[in-house]
Structure 1
Amino acid sequence: MDKKKLPVGVSNFKELIKENYYYVDKTGFIEEILEKRANVTLICRPRRFGKTLNMSTLKYFLDRDNAQENRRLFNGLKIEKTEYMREQGKYPVIFLSMKGVKGESYSKFLQKFSSVLIDLYNEYEVFREKLNMSEKMYFDKVWLGDPDADLSKALKFLGDILYKYSGIKPVLLIDEYDSPMIVANEKGYYEEAKELIGDFYGDGLKDAPISFAVVTGILRVAKESIFSTLNNLKVSTLLTENYNHFGMTEYEVETILKYYGLETTVDAAKSWYNGYTFGDEKVYNPWSILNHCENGKLISYWVNTSANTLIMKLLKDADNDINDIFYELLRGRAAKTILDDSMIFGEKYSNSTILYLMFSAGYLTIDRIGEEEDQYYLRIPNLEVKKYFRKTFIEILTPKSKDSFSKLKEALVIGKIRGNDSIEEKINGFFMASMSYLDGAKEEKFYHNLILGMMIGLDDKFYIHSNREEGLGRYDLALEPRDKNAVGYIFEFKVAESTSESDFKKAGAEALSQIDKKIYEVGLRERGIQKIVKIGMVFSGKIMKLYIKEKVG
């Protein structure tokens, strides 16, 4: 028997069912929406966890256009067995995706916004002949892309005319509502876009005659940002225990893997793609599972481009403490933070805001709840995200030297201390590439974090120990090779009093002397490491020098 096609990249419910794609039944989403029936429901989940498909499913269920044909799409699905089938095909539905509303500048943003509205109005051309002269003039301005059209009224106007000429209040569905604001914040035109989009949403969701509305996105953007006029908003985030119809459950993953003959990969798939907590549910990343089913490989598939860009920007602008947090996360530990599940763009972002953004975007998940109000411990959910974290950390700290990282790893493994493609050359290269981060840096901790960040990607070859008690003291950094016959390293960091050669040499000698006197190497030796290199790293402003003492046997 031929297997059903895998719906990789297919988010249109009608296409998915009619073309016989594999479908994980999430029609319980429809039931919960209709059961709770809030005036406006905002649902925030990471990208590629099924928001667009669920919204498309809701559209085809509710829409009065082609109602009889659409009814057949739900044959055999969960919703068919509920009382809510009586709601099928009863409403005019306005479905709007804001994913494409973005641009490098505000003018480009306006062009994209106008283009999306032109496509939306195209769907309602049939109503045009029913409009009075005034209504027709406004319809044509939006429909034809008139630069003088007041786009802030476009959503409310559409709701008004659908109700007026059909006699039924429409349902409004807005997918990826926050996408324009994320890009606007990144590109520097947030305040301009905020006013237009705020009025657009406010008028459409509050003042238009709608039966109800469902809005999806990644972030809960604070009311102060774009929802200041909206007081009828019911919000579901990753912290709330409702609308758990996104992602795949363990049962759903086991079922699809068995269907495609991949049941032997269940445990490995759990390590790679599971670990997310949505409310009280543990779920898998559906995008990655579908791609794994398609090619059978356990590799990284999930890329969240918009969120990636914002996260990278925030991390580059963050204070030095975020490096400590990042490093602890990569070591498999949990980071304690306060999660405020709303975000106000344009403010100076604290470390807790950055962690909230990463959590909302799916890069972190809840490990456990803290003792204080809104306090949580967050961790990296799985191997796929951990690989992304490691790569991101290296890119942030060594933006001009990414290609050299593998050569640093090679040099460390074979113990090549000096010369071409050596430890000294590559660490200096990384350091110089990160010079823009070092203006005014005078504390040893700053440099410690910088070097530590450079070493993050080495954990397949080394155990990385930072600030660990050993011998008669606590060393700064040690690399313990996983292969006991390979070379191990002990680092001690010092800040020179000035940039003079004598001050550098003095600090370098102190670093190496401290390693010897405190017998930092004793732990490595006890664990079977015989080849050990001692390194004193001395810093002053933008200058770094290495002082090396090789001790073999």
Structure 2
Amino acid sequence: MLKEKGCEEMNKKLFPIGKSDFKEVIQGNYYYVDKTGFIEEVLEKNYEVTLICRPRRFGKTLNMSALKYFLDMKDAEENKKLFKGLKIEKTEYMKRAGKYPVIFLTLKDLSGKNYQDFFSEFKKLISRLFKEHKHLLKLLDEYDFENFDKILRRKDEADYDTALQFLSELYKEYVGVKPVLLIDEYDSPMIIANEKGYYEDVKELMSTFYGSSLKDAPISFAVVTGILRVAKESIFSSLNNLKVSTLLKGDYNHFGMNETEVEEILKHYNLETTMECAKSWYNGYTFNNQKIYNPWSIINHCDSGKLESYWVNTSANTLIMELLKEADLDIKDIFYNLLNGGSARTILDDNMIFGEKYSHSTILYLMFSAGYLTIDRYGEEDDEYYLRIPNLEVKKYFKKTFLNILTNSNRDSFSKLKDALLIGKIYGNDSIEEKINSMFLASMSYLDGSKEEKFYHNLILGMIIGLDSTFYIHSNREEGLGRYDLALEPKDKNRIGYIFEFKVASSTSESDFDAAGKDALNQIDKKIYENGLKERGITKIVKIGLVFSSKSMKIYSK
């Protein structure tokens, strides 16, 4: 039996974590989910320029790499062996394998703290690309040799902004075949530049770079991938031949893993018993009405055997984080609803214009494009959608991020608030009053705006949303003879439940605070708000009035 087990382990494929080069995956005996249908669809549609937008870590680079090896005339016969036994081998498109020069460029790691640093890295990237094609040098005349050599040696006077067009022209003139152009993560430079504050400079550079290569260059066709569809007016202003596939379209369904593919990989690694849990953690994305799993997380789960967060740690988006810090109460209210299993209604205009004033729909579109939200259902109006959090992995990240942004509090304060609630310590050191007050003051130090009850209500919701592992959190729920503001229902019925009523005092004077506090507690009693908790078996219930005025807060309790 030991020998058989050893043989079984030897037959297991390696985990392709961080592997995005198709040849390395196939030759290195890594587990590969056959997505060569992507190649077939690209060739079947035969568009001049295709832009495909999908979230990070859903297989864009690996698919583009497979397309590169399939089409490239360099090492063509050797590369054809890579596709043995795969779906594409059985199609008519095998006759187009190895028939083109391929220019493949990925911009996912291009960055810089300022434009000078960015442009220096950009020059290095283009120089490395030309080094991959230096076999052309022996064919070139003196003039083209000189210009090629300038880029290769990173000379300042080289024409980097039209480098792809130049390389394409060389293939057409000296090889006699128009190349295929593949650009991976095209929007990464714009996202980085927007975050670092030099977007306009990069916009000017990349507009020329993309425009010259995708419109003016002699290419057979081009495929471009990214996360966002940057508005045509921003980058692709001169392009009339662009076909776009976003998450809102119904094509190119070769990204992520479907349920059958997940079942197969879990079985391969003897983890089929985790299928239902994996569904809760990593499923939930809707691409063209098909439920999709996050492939990065599934592969990491197979490696570790643990159900925990993987993808979200690789996909933090600074732009989203900055926008949320500046967001108003309405977006925070939307977030609270999402974290409680609800959905957000929005218009999804899948065009991103950097530098504009961002609306709620822009923030939700960014989060949708990045994979933090997915489509729950379609609205009645054109372009109207209901979005939700796709799975437990993303929800955990949401909760952590929401707390940090909304309260600006440290995890120690939050942990002590939870402890105080569990033992019912309302006043004194490390009490409910002390911890809510400290988190409240930290939030109010940078949150200004309306001082209506809704403002404070949302603020407190943000502070306590992370308690949902211990309490069911109910907001504005009908109970008894009215609708209370907030209730914490313990999941362990032997623990303490809480009813909160919020009031805004007419001034910061002690008498006005006391009057509002008394009014809050009287309302809880008069409306019999505790009835629902009692009916569900909660016997220990604490009634709390939270009174606010400007940047002051006070707790009242019987």
TM-score, length of structure 2 as denominator length: 0.96
Q: What is the 5 A alignment of 1:417-496?
A: 417-496=426-505
The residue type equivalent to 2:421 in the other structure is L
Aligned to 1:62: 71
Secondary structure at the counterpart of residue 459 of structure 1: helix
Cα pair distance change 1:479/1:193, threshold 3 Å: same
Residues 1:5 and 2:11 are matched in the alignment: no
2:354 paired residue number: 345
Does structure 1 conserve the Cα–Cα contact (< 8 Å) formed by 2:56 and 2:315? Answer: no
1:462 Cα deviation from its structure 2 partner: 0.7
| Farther off after superposition, 535-544 or 65-74 | 535-544
Q: CA deviation at 1:148?
A: 4.0
Give the Cα separation in 2 of the matches to 1:386 and 1:489. Answer: 24
1:42-441 to 2 correspondences below 5 Å: 42-303=51-312, 305=314, 307-441=316-450
TM superposition shift of 1:423: 1.3
Asked if the contact 1:47/1:304 (under 8 Å) is kept, the reply is no
CA drift of 1:487 comes to: 0.9
- Check the 8 A contact 2:151/2:158 in 1, yes or no: yes
Q: Name the counterpart of 2:4.
A: none
- Report whether the alignment pairs 1:539 with 2:548: yes
Amino acid at match of 1:217: G
Partner in structure 1 of residue 39 of structure 2: 30
Question: What is the rounded CA distance, in whole Å, between the counterparts of 1:28 and 1:166 in structure 2?
Answer: 29
Once the two structures are TM-superposed, the CA of residue 304 in structure 1 deviates from its matched residue by: 5.9
- Give the superposition deviation at 1:398: 2.0
Alpha-carbon distance in 1 for matches of 2:54, 2:182:
16
Say if 1:177 and 1:216, in contact at 8 Å, map to a contact too. Answer: yes
One-letter amino acid matched to 1:517: K
Per-residue deviation at 1:209?
Answer: 0.4
Aligned pair partner of 2:48 in 36, 39, 49: 39
| Superposed displacement of residue 439, structure 1 | 2.4
Structure 2: tracts of 5 or more residues without a match:
1-6
Q: Separation in 2 of the partners of 1:399 and 1:142?
A: 48
Give the CA deviation at 1:369: 1.0
Residue identity matched to 1:96: L
Deviations 1:134-176 (A, max 9, x none): 3333323322223343321112111111222111100000000
Question: Post-superposition shift, 1:203?
Answer: 0.6
CA distance in 1, matches of 2:62, 2:341: 33
Q: Are the counterparts in 2 of residues 183 and 306 from structure 1 also a CA contact under 8 Å?
A: no
Per-residue CA deviations over 1:197-232 (Å, capped at 9, x if unaligned) read: 111111111101000000001111110111111111
Unmatched tracts of structure 1, length 5 or more: none
Task: Count matched residues.
Answer: 549
Alpha-carbon displacement from aligned partner over 1:496-521 (angstroms, at most 9, x marks no partner): 22222332222222222222222222
Residues 63 and 90 of structure 1 are in contact (CA less than 8 Å); yes or no, is this contact kept in structure 2?
yes
Is the 1:100–1:112 contact (alpha carbons within 8 Å) kept by the matching residues of 2? no
Q: Is the 8 A contact 2:378 2:384 kept in 1?
A: yes
Contact 2:281–2:307, Cα closer than 8 Å, also in 1: yes
On the 8 A contact 2:73/2:100 being kept in 1, the answer is yes
Amino acid across the alignment from 1:348: K
* C-alpha spacing 1:106/1:402, structure 2 compared with 1 (3 Å): farther
Aligned to 2:3: none
Tell me if 1:513 matches 2:522.
yes
Query: Alpha carbons of 1:399 and 1:136: their partners in 2 closer, same or farther (altered >3 Å)?
Result: farther
In 1, distance between residues paired with 2:206 and 2:314? 22
Cα displacement string for residues 239-290 of structure 1 (whole angstroms, at most 9, x for unaligned residues) = 1111100111111111111111011111111111111111132211101110
Alignment RMSD, CA only?
1.5
**1:404 and 1:100 mapped to 2: Cα distance?**
37
Q: Which secondary structure does the structure 2 equivalent of 1:538 belong to?
A: strand
Q: How many angstroms apart in 1 are the aligned matches of 2:146 and 2:511?
A: 80
After superposition, the C-alpha distances for 1:90-137 in whole angstroms (9 at most, x for unaligned) are 111010001111222222211221121121111122223433343333
For 2:316 and 2:209, the matched residues in 1 are separated by 23
- 1: CA distance, partners of 2:346 / 2:35: 32
Q: For residues 347-386 of structure 1, give each alpha carbon's deviation from its aligned partner in whole angstroms, at most 9, with x where no partner exists.
A: 1111111111111111111111111111111111111111
| % same residue | 72
Show CA shifts across 1:300-325 (max 9, x none): 11126555222211111222101111
Quick one: which amino acid aligns to residue 186 of structure 1? E
